[in-house]
Amino acid sequence: MTKIKSEDRLLESVIAGAQRVINGKDELNKINVFPVADGDTGSNLASLMQTIVDNLSNNKYSTNLLLDEVASAALIGARGNSGIIFAQYLNAVSDYYGVYETNLEILVVAFNKAVKNAYDSLIEPKEGTILSVMRRWADVLLITFKESSSFENALLEAKAEAWKALKETQFQMSILKKNKLVDSGAKGFYYFVSGFTDAYCGKSLGGQQEEIIPNKKEEDKTFIKEHFISEAPKNRYCSEFIIKESQKQENDLKELLRKWGDSLVIAGNKKQLKIHIHTNHPENILALLENWGTIIYQKVDDMQLQYEISQNRKSSIAIVTDSVADLSADFILENQIFVLPLNISVGEQNFLDKLTINPQIFEEKYNKNLKMTTSQPSIQSVDSLFSFLEGKYDHIIVISVSSQLSGTYQLIKQRIREKKVTENQVHLIDSKLNSVAQGLLVKQAVKIISEEKPIEAILNEIENIIDRVFIYVAVADLSPMINSGRIPKFLGEVAQKISMHPIISLDKRGNGKLIGGSFSQARSMDKILKKIVLLSKKGQIEELALTHVLSKEAALKLNEIIKEKTTKNSEILDSSAAIGISAGLGSLAVAGLLKEVQ
């Protein structure tokens, strides 16, 4: 068996591959047209790679430890479809390698076997994407290594084949062929293996390694991995942030942050600091920190919810949803609902939906015309939540945003399978809804669970309710939907020229659909009101709820009209930033639950 000669070479190669992806970020964004032309694949992959680089130190690594460190960082930094797939691949490489005797043959085999895990991370894997290049590279790497027993030769041959596979992606999907582009995620993977290969085969980073790899210190061990809460916390959220190249010294940061909470711990060095604080306002902590450096990691845990469960668990069945579901903070805490935050990207900064970004911060960023995108919850947040819930509940019901609108459902399904969570314990439901409509479904699930029915009956009732929930959205500005790729650019620009304000709903599968429009948002709302009034006259409405994107006065006025015409008083909620990005400022939505047909 061929032993690994220099494990430092592997470290340099990983760094070189990551750096090449980071350097190619802007190009990858420009060629990003699949699955949605939202131009963020480069940013997502760069985030993943930067997290890996920032997580590594100059210390000596065994190959096993290096792969573990890379895998751990990948879970933190993964964003977007390609990022999640890549992170899953790197974690599988680490898992396969760690099982066997450590040598180059096993490393090559691990690179090959892990491809299946990447494919398995998707419900419907498609060729012509990152997967195709990943598989070709790993297959040729294994075949060539078996023939030559030379890792260098195998890397060079595999790199050449990966390039060929990348060029072929432009002919494997119609959207890529139409635009005469290779797949952005696939090119990101090629950049990584290209940089890795060049470094391993002689093009070392040399002195550059010192510049991009921060040292780690023992202080990192002061950070708390889990919280065992025996008394009510003074502040609701345990928040952790990593800030790179801080312009403030530790003591200065402590003075700035002290007034915002307790249990403040800051550790690290000039290149990287970790901040741990218990606070009621994690969004204010992030707002302060982003003025003094680059935030590369954030985590927020709801300690108050954890405490309430430890003292008085309301049910043996847990409800989990994501932050797209519009629910009040009080309802979430009172009914012990677990919420997975989507990731919000604003320019170069990331936020956790409804935790480190609120409506006021969203409006401030929006008005600066910064590029905004959303991506599903991080792998780490999903895994951490399931780890926390394990053993505390007999059943876990997960109600996700429509799988047609987000990769969240797919990610959670993959993590359930990957972590081998018992199928009889975790029950994943595609709501086929979003926003305040998804919130109504969650509220109904709480009600059904309180009736203490068997789990099968509960799941059936929740599924049946989905078809009885509707939502109508009156959009104030088409630009966000055009920019996010949810409306084709040509059609959107035509609609803008004639000042068309669309009315959006969801079909039975959970896809967005255009159901009408007017030459003003006010007229669109009149049309929606007519639909609501007609349903009310037929006695079909059981419950209504309103949501808005920074348009509370309009929502209050609309509620008064609905109350007058239907006698139904609607709950009014702020939309999540995830909805605000796609619907735009000023958007209004009405969701309702229809009565069950007897």
Burial of 256 (0-12, 13-18, 19+ CB in 10 A): middle
* Residue 305 resides in a domain: yes
* CA dist., res. 35 & res. 186, Å (int): 13
Band of residue 490 on the pLDDT scale cut at 50, 70, 90: low
Are both 243 and 164 inside the same structural domain? no
- The mean pLDDT of 318-347, rounded to a whole number, is 95
Residue 485 has a pLDDT of: 59
372 or 598, higher pLDDT: 372
Q: Is residue 192 part of a domain?
A: yes
Asked if residues 429 and 399 have their Cβ atoms less than 8 Å apart, the reply is yes
Using the predicted structure, report yes or no on whether residue 513 has a pLDDT greater than 90: no
Residues 59 and 193 in one domain: yes
Looking at 212, 247, 274, the residue that finishes a domain is: 212
For 129-147, give one letter per residue: b (16+ CB within 10 A) or e: bbbbbbbbbbbbbbbbbee
Strand partners, 465: none
Give the whole-angstrom CA distance, residue 3 versus residue 490: 57
CATH number at residue 536: 3.30.1180.10
Cis amide leading into 282 (omega within 30): no
Point out the domain boundary residue: 312, 345, 376.
312
- Structural domain of 501: 469-594
User: What pLDDT shows up at residue 193?
Assistant: 97
User: What are the counts of helices (DSSP H) followed by strands (DSSP E) for the chain?
Assistant: 25, 17
Q: Verify that 478 and 567 share a domain, yes or no.
A: yes
198 and 251 co-located in one domain = no
pLDDT digits (tens, 9 = 90+) for 269-283: 666 777 888 899 999
Residue 102 belongs to some domain of the structure: yes
Check residue 387 and give its pLDDT: 75
In this prediction, residue 487 carries a pLDDT of: 60
Band the pLDDT of 593: cuts 50, 70, 90: very high
pLDDT(100) > 70: no
Q: How confident is the prediction for the chain on average, in pLDDT? A: 85
What's the CA gap between 507 and 72, in Å, rounded? Answer: 39
Q: Which residue has the higher pLDDT, 310 or 219?
A: 310
Per mean pLDDT, which of 176-180, 310-314, 468-472 is the most reliable? 468-472
CATH number for position 93: 1.25.40.340
Owner of token pair 């009149």: 526
- CB burial of 544-576 (b: ≥16 within 10 Å; e: otherwise) equals bbbbbbbbeebbeebbeebeeebebebbbbbbb
The reply to whether 425 falls in a domain is no
Residue 369 class from Cβ within 10 Å (0-12 exposed, 13-18 middle, 19+ buried)?
Answer: exposed
Task: Report H helices in 397-520.
Answer: 408-418, 435-450, 455-466, 479-483, 489-497
Q: Which residues contact 337 (CB under 8 A, 6 or more apart)?
A: 319, 320, 321, 327, 331, 442, 446
Task: Tell me the pLDDT band of 95, cut-offs 50, 70 and 90.
Answer: confident
Which range is most confident: 82-96, 103-117, 380-394? Answer: 103-117
Is residue 442 in a domain?
no
Contact status, residue 584 vs residue 480, Cβ threshold 8 Å: yes
DSSP H or E segment with residue 334: helix 329-334
202, containing H or E segment? none
For residue 214, pLDDT over 60 is answered with no
207 and 270 both lie in a single domain:
no
Question: Strands 272-279 and 261-268: what pairing?
Answer: antiparallel
Question: What domain count does the chain have?
Answer: 3
Residue found under tokens 């104030």: 476
Joined tokens for residue 88: 């899953």
pLDDT digits (tens, 9 = 90+) for 155-211: 999 999 999 999 999 999 888 888 889 999 999 999 999 999 999 998 644 333 323
In a domain, 98, yes or no: yes
**φ and ψ of 313, to 5 deg:** -65, 125
236 and 194 within one domain: no
Indicate the residue among 162, 195, 212 that finishes a domain. 212
pLDDT recorded at residue 392: 85
Q: Is a pLDDT exceeding 50 seen at residue 389?
A: yes
Does residue 227 share a domain with residue 180?
no
Q: Are residues 160 and 246 in the same domain?
A: no
Distance CA(475)–CA(572), nearest Å, equals 17
Q: Record the pTM.
A: 0.72
Q: Which residue has the higher pLDDT, 171 or 489?
A: 171
Domain co-membership, 38 together with 185:
yes
Please write the tens of the pLDDT for every residue from 39-82: 668 878 988 898 899 888 766 788 889 999 998 888 777 777 78
pLDDT of res. 557: 94
What is the pLDDT confidence band of residue 351, given thresholds at 50, 70 and 90? very high
CATH code: domain of residue 255:
3.30.70.980
Establish if 79 belongs to a structural domain: yes
Distance of CA 577 to the CA centre of its chain: 13
Higher pLDDT, 344 or 419: 344
Cα separation, 84 vs 80, whole angstroms: 6
Other C-beta atoms closer than 10 Å to the C-beta of 225 total: 5
Contact 367, 396 (CB under 8 A): no
206 and 84 part of one domain: yes
pLDDT at 205: 40
**166 in a domain, yes or no?**
yes
pLDDT at 186: 95
Tokens of 482: 């055009």
Comparison of pLDDT for 269 and 577, the residue scoring more: 577
List C-alpha distances in Å: 189 to 15, 49, 233. 14, 11, 44
Segment among 236-245, 477-486, 584-593 with least mean pLDDT: 477-486
CA distance 528 to 471: 10
Query: Do 201 and 224 belong to one domain?
Result: no
pLDDT for residue 224 is more than 50: no
**Residue 499 pLDDT level (bands cut at 50, 70, 90):** confident
Instruction: Kindly tell me if the per-residue pLDDT of 311 is higher than 90.
Output: no
What pLDDT is attached to residue 218? 36
Query: Do 83 and 208 belong to one domain?
Result: yes
